[in-house]
Structure 1
């Protein structure tokens, strides 16, 4: 940690649940985590209880000001506010997935509340981050006899490793808007990749504990030379990384992070589709409009709780709100039980006001999601041989059905051990605290895309398309819009390694050079015509004395959790490097 930083506070905003944790620099393994009851307990990594997170629920007043977050937001919206008034209140839940599903993120990307009200997604995250900042600062005095200045805090914000650079930038800018730090002190905000953070937590548990379930197995996963796959199974996404432990105890990434939208909420979606099949879809849509709070409670609380307790060959009971029974009796002209009987599926019944789902029907809700996860993991394991352990973390990893499914699919066929991490729903936020103390715990990372810039070169007949041919002042044929690579997809780059290139201005009086950074899914892109314009890089060159002969050297780091750039203006004689803004939005 930098001088003056006394503690690390990590904030993990998940799709369904969120939380924060902290520890002091002089005792980094004593991590204080929020408890679902509202109390906080100091817990050592070696002997951590099971604190609950809070629902990712943000409630704003009708005028747009902050009201509450978490359980308070959920309860106030569902219980305290009259149904007729709910349409005026601005309630957001599961807004994290907006950053995964939006192809071209920008500062104007909007998140949609339950009542249809839109706010910039940066602002929504800023409200959440500000809430956790205030909660953390209020608790710091509980753990320290000395006053802690907010400037003494390093903040760590978790993000899925599969997110694009633009999504990471939105989280960073939300931290500024939420008041964690000002942009002038950006170094006090660190972006942590969720599966990496979880790996650090699992590793630290094993190194400091002698009484952890599966400790023998998980300790072996962190022996030198061992390869393991870590799957962060969250509410929205599945985030997968493959690591190898080095002899110096550092961790090397063997494949760039992969994954997809196969989290627990997609089981929820299958449940909603089942409800729409049992009853009339238009009736369900009307119920959702007229009883917003009860619908949120049905899916986000009632079914969520039942889902986590699902067992093989067991029955899943989902309690229906009393308003649901009354509404369907008026809308369908018959009681809910008759509607369920009309559905004609013996595995779906009504039992004392609850939907009763027998295991064959339960399996239908889960298996499409499980299949997507399994297919992806098999493809990855075929690319990276020698993996001995599959470590499961994240809230969805608490689901016994998923645990058993993955063990059956992989332990024999791939000759590896499937291990469920201790306190798997907390491994990300706890590990992010450790990452804040030691961001150099990783030896190297793999590049997610091929990054480069647009340039021109000599035209190659029979290879380059004629549509990209042009002629220079010397009459030679040139190929425009060619892709010059800085870092290639899935290439291994050590932490701290800099890739160096030089640029010159096109005009003699230009005081900056504008560089468009491109990103491609291909490892060997030849042209920029079919790639994504990922970012804009502005290189300052205020001294124009040497005109177009000026040269600026650029140093790019692709091995950290965020891409960073600095530059040196060689022509001006000023060799002092300065940070370069890299705008992915």
Structure 2
């Protein structure tokens, strides 16, 4: 890969180094960049089971997102080592499968569960459950310790976690609760703390990828020719960036403006259409061939072998190419298990009577037509969504593909066929775009000039009651007998509004009663654009703060201000008493997880 070139506006004075952690559904990794030499990046090596690193500007990959915990919940191992250790534990003691906790693909829990709380659980292979915050914190701590160890081995100074700016990536389509879980997991892992929140940046994955594409001289493959990705960053250009990973697809649309700053044209969208859903289709094919009951028993009785089986398919599906057959190796243990039930694997495949599914030299051979069926549903979802965005946002010139699943030739071909009106660019080293871009973003986040908010935000207040519009049961009288409407929502920003980096929106309010010595301020969010009341469907309370107003002179004319700071991935709310002798200010982090522990 070519050397990465950073913007001249780079400001790295606030931290000795930046360490970015990218926890993916199937693969994860981290990248390190010193402020003194920010374009020299180190990451975990994808193909080395010992997770050795290649030092230099070109990261070479990731390791599996697999976590093994001991029966008491103590961390044991992660990545390739976790799978190996899990197999060894069960080989030595079959009962270990009931007590040891092996987690994989747990990231999808943060996408699939809408009612997130601090109690939300990840489920291990054996059914045991553990807090998702704890599971993610184990992974972050592993990467934190490993990264600091690596840095100290190669540098001449002792580096501690406090010396680093930590960056954790999240899908843009995640809700605010999922992002909060990642921040709390990072605190638990020791990356930062509530007292030092500035040590941690939560970065949207497609934005990190956009930074990677902008600041690198990476050559992109465009059909049969090669093209420098920087052509998509010419002033005035509009591009769609699709981060297509193992679990989810994140889609964002940007325009390139003044000084090459990027503005978001449409709030992030996407869905659960990643590579693991091809695995699901393959599992269903096996169930049709060998029977649902038989496959469920195999998975239950030989969990490690099943994991290895699907790992072999993962390797095979990466080689899938237009017009070519796909050969999937069948583990020896699988052959033995199937035969012990009466018929051999070859007999089952023969009885399946499908000319596109054959048994060849101990492997499952699929014709290209059958391979297409495995990918079909995912491909349809991805291309239909991209087409819908292109219809909503006009004059998009390029579609840039990043993410692990985006490396698949079949997917690239299908997108090019469906989106013939735009030029589709598939970045080389697709799977590294996010983690590498996240490091560069940590050094210089200024490339992203604005983004679109995903929700409407506001606070509850009591304005004048409007006869004939406001419900009668919402009418209340203040201490002067004036009619006010409770449950009204004062909107600060509406869904899909554009907000600048660090933009502040301020609204003024007055106390409900003249002698109030404090005011409760409740913050709400909604997926609807213009909710009128906090009781409207889809409106949820996300934070509450109490602002002291001890000086009651001025009665109800005392003014207070509520400020919401937008433009970052996370939103901050500040309230201020403007009339007190001593200015009183309160800041609150929005809470999207309730108050359960």
TM over 0.5: yes
- Does 2:96 align with 1:85? yes
In the TM superposition, residue 447 of structure 1 has moved relative to its aligned partner by: 0.8
In the TM superposition, residue 567 of structure 1 has moved relative to its aligned partner by: 3.0
Query: Which whole-Å CA distance do the structure 2 matches of 1:382 and 1:89 have between them?
Result: 50
SS of residue in 2 equivalent to 1:154: strand
The residue that corresponds to 1:554 in the other structure is 562
Query: Which whole-Å CA distance do the structure 2 matches of 1:236 and 1:256 have between them?
Result: 20
Residues 487 and 558 in structure 1, CA contact (< 8 A), matched pair in contact too: no
Residue 418 and residue 485 in structure 1: after superposition, are their counterparts in 2 closer, same or farther (change >3 A)? Answer: same
Per-residue CA deviations over 1:522-559 (Å, capped at 9, x if unaligned) read: 22223332023141131442746669755442221121
Q: Which moved more, 1:532-541 or 1:126-135?
A: 532-541
Q: Within 5 Å, which residues of 2 pair with 1:173-184?
A: 173-184=184-195
SS of residue in 1 equivalent to 2:54: strand
Residues 220 and 425 in structure 2, CA contact (< 8 A), matched pair in contact too: no
- Does 2:296 align with 1:289? no
Query: Which whole-Å CA distance do the structure 2 matches of 1:270 and 1:544 have between them?
Result: 66
In the TM superposition, residue 395 of structure 1 has moved relative to its aligned partner by: 0.3
Q: Within 5 Å, which residues of 2 pair with 1:117-516?
A: 117-206=128-217, 216-299=227-310, 301-331=311-341, 333-411=342-420, 414=421, 416-460=422-466, 463-464=469-470, 466=471, 469-473=474-478, 479-503=485-509, 513-516=519-522
The residue that corresponds to 1:39 in the other structure is 52
Query: Which whole-Å CA distance do the structure 2 matches of 1:400 and 1:306 have between them?
Result: 13
SS of residue in 2 equivalent to 1:386: coil
Residues 543 and 591 in structure 2, CA contact (< 8 A), matched pair in contact too: yes
> How many residues are treated as equivalent by the alignment?
572
Residues 54 and 71 in structure 1, CA contact (< 8 A), matched pair in contact too: yes
Query: Which whole-Å CA distance do the structure 2 matches of 1:283 and 1:32 have between them?
Result: 45
Residues 462 and 512 in structure 2, CA contact (< 8 A), matched pair in contact too: no
In the TM superposition, residue 61 of structure 1 has moved relative to its aligned partner by: 0.9
Residues 236 and 264 in structure 1, CA contact (< 8 A), matched pair in contact too: yes
Per-residue CA deviations over 1:426-446 (Å, capped at 9, x if unaligned) read: 000000001101122211111
Residues 27 and 63 in structure 2, CA contact (< 8 A), matched pair in contact too: yes
Query: Which whole-Å CA distance do the structure 1 matches of 2:467 and 2:141 have between them?
Result: 58
User: Which one of 78, 100, 114 corresponds to residue 103 of structure 1?
Assistant: 114
Query: Which whole-Å CA distance do the structure 2 matches of 1:254 and 1:4 have between them?
Result: 31
SS of residue in 1 equivalent to 2:240: strand
Residues 18 and 32 in structure 2, CA contact (< 8 A), matched pair in contact too: yes
Q: TM-score, normalised by structure 1?
A: 0.92
Residue 467 and residue 543 in structure 1: after superposition, are their counterparts in 2 closer, same or farther (change >3 A)? Answer: closer
- Does 2:7 align with 1:7? no
The residue that corresponds to 1:67 in the other structure is 76
Per-residue CA deviations over 1:452-510 (Å, capped at 9, x if unaligned) read: 2333444555545x465424357766554333211111111111110112455667897
Residues 33 and 39 in structure 2, CA contact (< 8 A), matched pair in contact too: yes
Q: Which moved more, 1:333-342 or 1:161-170?
A: 333-342
Query: Which whole-Å CA distance do the structure 1 matches of 2:438 and 2:368 have between them?
Result: 37
In the TM superposition, residue 233 of structure 1 has moved relative to its aligned partner by: 0.1
Query: Which whole-Å CA distance do the structure 2 matches of 1:455 and 1:150 have between them?
Result: 43
Residue 143 and residue 202 in structure 1: after superposition, are their counterparts in 2 closer, same or farther (change >3 A)? Answer: farther
The residue that corresponds to 1:28 in the other structure is 38
Residues 221 and 425 in structure 2, CA contact (< 8 A), matched pair in contact too: no
Query: Which whole-Å CA distance do the structure 2 matches of 1:328 and 1:513 have between them?
Result: 69
In the TM superposition, residue 372 of structure 1 has moved relative to its aligned partner by: 0.5
User: Which one of 537, 548, 555 corresponds to residue 541 of structure 1?
Assistant: 548
Residues 250 and 442 in structure 1, CA contact (< 8 A), matched pair in contact too: yes
SS of residue in 2 equivalent to 1:9: strand
Residue 178 and residue 201 in structure 1: after superposition, are their counterparts in 2 closer, same or farther (change >3 A)? Answer: same
Q: Which moved more, 1:526-535 or 1:392-401?
A: 526-535
Residues 450 and 488 in structure 1, CA contact (< 8 A), matched pair in contact too: yes
Q: TM-score, normalised by structure 2?
A: 0.91
Residue 125 and residue 512 in structure 1: after superposition, are their counterparts in 2 closer, same or farther (change >3 A)? Answer: farther
Residues 61 and 89 in structure 1, CA contact (< 8 A), matched pair in contact too: yes
Query: Which whole-Å CA distance do the structure 1 matches of 2:340 and 2:194 have between them?
Result: 56
SS of residue in 1 equivalent to 2:400: strand
Query: Which whole-Å CA distance do the structure 2 matches of 1:511 and 1:74 have between them?
Result: 59
In the TM superposition, residue 574 of structure 1 has moved relative to its aligned partner by: 3.3
Residues 13 and 158 in structure 1, CA contact (< 8 A), matched pair in contact too: yes
Query: Which whole-Å CA distance do the structure 2 matches of 1:280 and 1:251 have between them?
Result: 52
The residue that corresponds to 1:522 in the other structure is 528
Residues 312 and 328 in structure 2, CA contact (< 8 A), matched pair in contact too: yes
SS of residue in 2 equivalent to 1:560: coil
Per-residue CA deviations over 1:210-241 (Å, capped at 9, x if unaligned) read: x7766645221011111110000011100011
